[in-house]
Structure 1
Amino acid sequence: MNRLFSILLLLTSLSALCQEDAWVYFNAKSNEQGYYNAPLTMLSQRAIERRQNQNISLDFKDIPVTPAYITQVKSSPGITVMAKSKWMNALHIQGNFAAVKALTSLSFVSKVIFANKALNTSTATTKTAKTVKQKSIEVSTQSNINFAYGNSDNQIKMLNGDYLHQQNYTGNGKIIAIIDAGFPGVNTAQPFKRLRDNNKIIGGYNFVGRSTNFYAGDHHGTYVLSSMGGYKENALVGTAPDASYCLFITEDNSQESPVEQSYWVEAAEMADSLGVDIINSSLGYLNGHTNPNYDLTYADMTGDATFISKGANVASSRGMVVVVSAGNEGNESEPHIGAPADAFGVLSVGAVTASRARATFSSIGPSFDGRIKPDVMAQGQADVLADEFGNIISASGTSFSGPIMAGMVACIWQAFPNKTSQQIKDLILQSSDKFASPNSEYGYGIPNFNLALGIQLPDPFADAETEKEVAVYPNPTASSVRISFPESMKAGSIIFYSSVGAKVLEKDNLVSDQSVSLESLAAGTYLYKIEFDTYSKTGKIVKL
């Protein structure tokens, strides 16, 4: 008995010494009003204009983390600060259990959440997340180039993206941030020369190495960029060859660690501050951690349970379109999407073959709380790409269907620059071939970007100015929406429907800029229809 007790005591001691990942959340921020009075201390002019164009106000999440709090946590014995997030008002830290737990005694700390959920108590039960890369991709050398787009012809024409290109909508004026594992060769390889010559690589950062050298790391990000911005005549044309790009490294290939989620959120915050329009990420998090205690389960895929999905939702609420690969686990024992593909605000993208059939590896939905996922599909099998040496190659994975879609988002948004990020997402869903009958394998299906242009032809019952002035915001929302429209419009009503078409809420006799409470609705995605005597508008709203 004494011997057994000694063994247990030793195991307990080792556990106490083990380094744990955790998030420490703060309960306040300093100098809030000062930052509101000087927004350029937080955001670039372009970021502010993106907010203004979408009627998105500055809020508490935009205020930086109080430096004194960071300093005090850093000076705490046994604690290493790995990352910070202003949106979450939190730090990602590492330390042994006792050192991390001791931080709860600080007056400005609201809670500590361990990445190992088993260590959380009733005072800190928020779910956390784990990291897993996309499955390894199949790569082969590509030859026999015969088409105007080269062998990338099919992946573009499946979406009718060539129609947008013919209209000169090639992503020009839009900025896409790629959050990935590395971008070697982008500064030297021929397929990226067009981007370099036109100064379309406008910046980036290596969050893993804490350096400005983002032409490093794994070649996965290079492949991803080539699907959007690559260009080699008669060989490869990306879906957004004239967009501008920011390149962020957040994936650490030496390990699978929860800190990668925090790096991701840091990158999304930097993208926001720079005025980025679209975030593309092929990273997914579900299981397979170096430390299995950090693994997630399907039950965590509820849209906002994980740190990274919370961050993706905030990114969406700032007016960016966040495009996320659905994952490559369709053939695994757990075939469902991971985080942040489950997030409420993201456009998650599954993979189909060249003949439009679902690729068997493509992760499926729904989210654990029953929402349609993935949202849409694009070619993700035998995609044509460029590698870090300039070779034209073929590879498979939702890692590539996602960025192929993100490039098309840039093109359609260039065509309709006055649309909000939510309106752009609605356009894409409404143009998809399964919009009327979505399912857990294809979501809303394959978008038709030619049709998306047509959906946005002027309403015959409303002039262009009216269409621009009728808005439902913010989206996503936690509690209520405001409905704005010209004062000349009278006797309006708004009806909200569930995802299966059941009426769940109706408000009549609307007045301009009226607030409508959604407190009675559960979290999820709802359809809405606004009607006046000679005007109607439909859309979707996400209740957080």
Structure 2
Amino acid sequence: MKIFNILIVCFITIQLSAQIAPDIFYVQFTDKANSPYSLNNPEAFLSQRAIERRQKQQIQYEENDLPVNPAYLQGVAQTGATLLFPTKWLNGVTVNLTDPSILNQINSLPYVVSVRQLSNHSQGKIYKVKDYFANEYIQRELPQLKLNPRSGSYDYGNGYIQINQINGIPLHEAGFRGQGMVIAVIDAGFVDADTHIAFDSLRNEGRLLGVKDFVHPGGNVYTESSHGTSVLSTMAANVSGQLIGTAPKASYYLLRSEYVYYEQLVEEFNWASAAEYADSLGVDVINSSLGYIDFDYPQWTHSYEDMDGQTCPATKAANVAASKGILVVNSAGNSGSSNTFPYMGAPADGEGVFSIGAVTSSGTRASFSSIGPTSDGRIKPDVMAMGQQTALANGNNNFTYGSGTSFSSPVIAGMSACLWQSRPTFTSFEIREAIRMSADKAANPDNFYGYGIPDYTFAGSLLASIDIGQQQEKLLVRITPNPFVQVDKVELLTFEKINVSILDVKGSKVRSLSGLLPSHPDLLRQTLNNLKAGFYVLELRTESAKQVLKIVKTLQ
């Protein structure tokens, strides 16, 4: 299966004099000036659910929320180019061209910065590339259960081990199985997902909310590849005694962005368009078991330097998606055994992306699981889940198991949706940080395991303790920003002296200030800025009041 190979940031420059076959190009626009859309009227371009997600997380509208200027799109279309998918976050559009003279016309438009080639079918020759997930495989026989698959009201079948490993069963038993949460699955195809018995309840209960093909516009996503079907099953399967996924009661959108038969730059832009679409629908979680490093043509291939969290097109889009309040979960990749490039690919390198590596059922890192750090020194992956002999569904109503970070990622995505369902007042960033801080290597993260294997019951307890504190609080301090790399401003909103305690996720006191005067907010600001990156609880007490505040310090 030939999917998930990354793109080069240095896009190929168009040779205007060259003859071209029906190939895809990206048109970059200058701005969004004179747009008929307004940030004061988001209902014109976002669903009510997308608006509510932003409101809940206090996310402001930005220019990148505005659609691409329709006048610019019309101008490009009038040259004879076939419009494919606009991307408002990157401010451009992918187009199909067959006539070389059209390139000159597009480049001459005053609002066009550049035109770049994203696919090449004219040479007739495809280079053999290293598959980003070359170590991925799906077994045909069912594995033997190693643990009792029954827990409470659920008979998990072969799904028990992977859910129990991250201590997710108590969440399900408490009734949090994804109800009301919406997950978008961006993948290569969903063969048999429309008929497989694993998804009977998903279809019958109306929780399969929609599908869209960003590879073949208007096409059928239930063709070409069953990879997305297997990925979906680790979350959505709901067959007692066979397979229960991590979010069996969530709702889903199925989005295809990946070409099965070749690896070309256009796939990163397809990914961006799919993520934008998911945002506009108001999804809570994106699972992407895709990644980009190598392409069929070497001039597009990414370097390690590109893995800096801000260069690759898919990474840029993933970071924007995260900034809109979506929990973006992505496979770390299967390059860990490589002697030349064992690192994660895009968009797993993104600062806002929850990157997931793979472990065995015993908790040992799978040898193929891609590693960090990013080229700018950040720890990756974020956390680990079972990605070797993961229980899943395959085509033709089969249940089996497979290996690859493609399958550890949705294990985390689905369970994270359940955790968020249980604590809906928290932001996507806070949910991610609680999961990281619950993991078994949180005290000493590294670039092989990241923060380790999370404990979702513990993550829920962390969030619950903060919730209780917030219910009792009186506002004594305002910290800007939060989350923060460095605190810019601390406002002390009392005339009394304040006793301050800073607790880590284990409840241990890491810093304290006694008798802090309201006239000395910079002392608290400096104390916060000297913390290591992590998730903390800030307790403030005066003689008449107290406040408990969650704070998060990030690496960058």
TM-score by length of 2: 0.80
Tell me the C-alpha RMSD between the 2 structures.
Answer: 3.9
The alignment status of 1:140 with 2:140, answered yes or no, reads yes
Following superposition, the deviation at residue 39 of structure 1 comes to 1.5
Counterpart among 275, 294, 299 of residue 293 in structure 1: 299
Following superposition, the deviation at residue 16 of structure 1 comes to 3.5
1:321 corresponds to: 327
C-alpha distance in structure 2 between counterparts of 1:397 and 1:434, whole Å: 21
The alignment status of 1:349 with 2:356, answered yes or no, reads yes
* Residue identity in the other structure for 1:154: I
Following superposition, the deviation at residue 70 of structure 1 comes to 1.5
Alignment of 1:63-462 (within 5 A): 63-76=66-79, 81-93=83-95, 100=103, 103-112=106-115, 133-135=132-134, 136-142=136-142, 144=144, 147-148=149-150, 149-211=156-218, 213-287=220-294, 289-333=295-339, 334-459=341-466, 462=469
C-alpha distance in structure 1 between counterparts of 2:539 and 2:277, whole Å: 39
Moved more, 345-354 or 225-234: 225-234
Q: Flag the 1:487–1:543 CA change in 2: closer, same or farther, 3 A.
A: farther
Following superposition, the deviation at residue 350 of structure 1 comes to 0.1
C-alpha distance in structure 1 between counterparts of 2:243 and 2:482, whole Å: 36
1:50 corresponds to: 53
* Residue identity in the other structure for 2:53: R
C-alpha distance in structure 1 between counterparts of 2:15 and 2:114, whole Å: 24
Kindly, what percent of the aligned residue pairs are identical? 39
Q: Flag the 1:360–1:179 CA change in 2: closer, same or farther, 3 A.
A: same
C-alpha distance in structure 2 between counterparts of 1:267 and 1:56, whole Å: 21
SS of alignment partner, residue 269 of structure 1: helix
SS of alignment partner, residue 264 of structure 1: helix
SS of alignment partner, residue 84 of structure 1: strand
Following superposition, the deviation at residue 453 of structure 1 comes to 1.5
C-alpha distance in structure 2 between counterparts of 1:344 and 1:106, whole Å: 35
C-alpha contact 1:177 1:248 (8 A) present in aligned 2: yes
Following superposition, the deviation at residue 463 of structure 1 comes to 4.1
2:552 corresponds to: 540
Q: Flag the 1:353–1:98 CA change in 2: closer, same or farther, 3 A.
A: farther
C-alpha contact 2:189 2:223 (8 A) present in aligned 1: yes
C-alpha distance in structure 1 between counterparts of 2:481 and 2:219, whole Å: 34
Moved more, 467-476 or 131-140: 467-476
C-alpha distance in structure 1 between counterparts of 2:320 and 2:350, whole Å: 10
Moved more, 298-307 or 453-462: 453-462
SS of alignment partner, residue 137 of structure 2: coil
C-alpha distance in structure 2 between counterparts of 1:468 and 1:175, whole Å: 33
* Residue identity in the other structure for 2:61: L
C-alpha distance in structure 2 between counterparts of 1:532 and 1:173, whole Å: 35
C-alpha contact 1:204 1:212 (8 A) present in aligned 2: no
- Deviations, residues 219-246 of structure 1 (Å, cap 9, x unaligned): 0000000000012211111000000000
C-alpha distance in structure 2 between counterparts of 1:476 and 1:101, whole Å: 46
- Deviations, residues 134-182 of structure 1 (Å, cap 9, x unaligned): 2242423215566221122110000001111111111111000000011
2:123 corresponds to: none
Following superposition, the deviation at residue 317 of structure 1 comes to 0.4
C-alpha distance in structure 1 between counterparts of 2:475 and 2:246, whole Å: 27
C-alpha contact 2:166 2:456 (8 A) present in aligned 1: yes
C-alpha distance in structure 2 between counterparts of 1:31 and 1:92, whole Å: 21
Structure 1 residues without counterparts, runs of 5 or longer: 1-11, 117-129
Alignment of 1:470-489 (within 5 A): none
SS of alignment partner, residue 141 of structure 1: coil
Following superposition, the deviation at residue 13 of structure 1 comes to 8.8
C-alpha distance in structure 2 between counterparts of 1:327 and 1:167, whole Å: 33
- Deviations, residues 33-69 of structure 1 (Å, cap 9, x unaligned): 7432322111111110000000011111111111221
* Residue identity in the other structure for 1:60: E
C-alpha contact 1:316 1:346 (8 A) present in aligned 2: yes
C-alpha contact 1:493 1:508 (8 A) present in aligned 2: no
TM-score by length of 1: 0.82
C-alpha distance in structure 1 between counterparts of 2:491 and 2:248, whole Å: 36
Following superposition, the deviation at residue 541 of structure 1 comes to 5.0
Following superposition, the deviation at residue 27 of structure 1 comes to 2.2
C-alpha distance in structure 2 between counterparts of 1:537 and 1:442, whole Å: 29
2:8 corresponds to: none
Moved more, 100-109 or 36-45: 100-109
C-alpha contact 2:485 2:553 (8 A) present in aligned 1: no
Q: Flag the 1:64–1:151 CA change in 2: closer, same or farther, 3 A.
A: same
C-alpha contact 1:131 1:285 (8 A) present in aligned 2: no
Q: Flag the 1:468–1:306 CA change in 2: closer, same or farther, 3 A.
A: farther
Following superposition, the deviation at residue 476 of structure 1 comes to 8.0
- Deviations, residues 177-205 of structure 1 (Å, cap 9, x unaligned): 00001112111111111111211101120
Q: Flag the 1:18–1:426 CA change in 2: closer, same or farther, 3 A.
A: same
C-alpha distance in structure 2 between counterparts of 1:472 and 1:131, whole Å: 47
C-alpha distance in structure 1 between counterparts of 2:474 and 2:181, whole Å: 23
* Residue identity in the other structure for 1:371: R
Following superposition, the deviation at residue 21 of structure 1 comes to 6.0
C-alpha distance in structure 2 between counterparts of 1:427 and 1:230, whole Å: 26
C-alpha contact 1:141 1:391 (8 A) present in aligned 2: no
Moved more, 312-321 or 206-215: 206-215
Q: Flag the 1:475–1:225 CA change in 2: closer, same or farther, 3 A.
A: farther
Q: Flag the 1:273–1:460 CA change in 2: closer, same or farther, 3 A.
A: closer
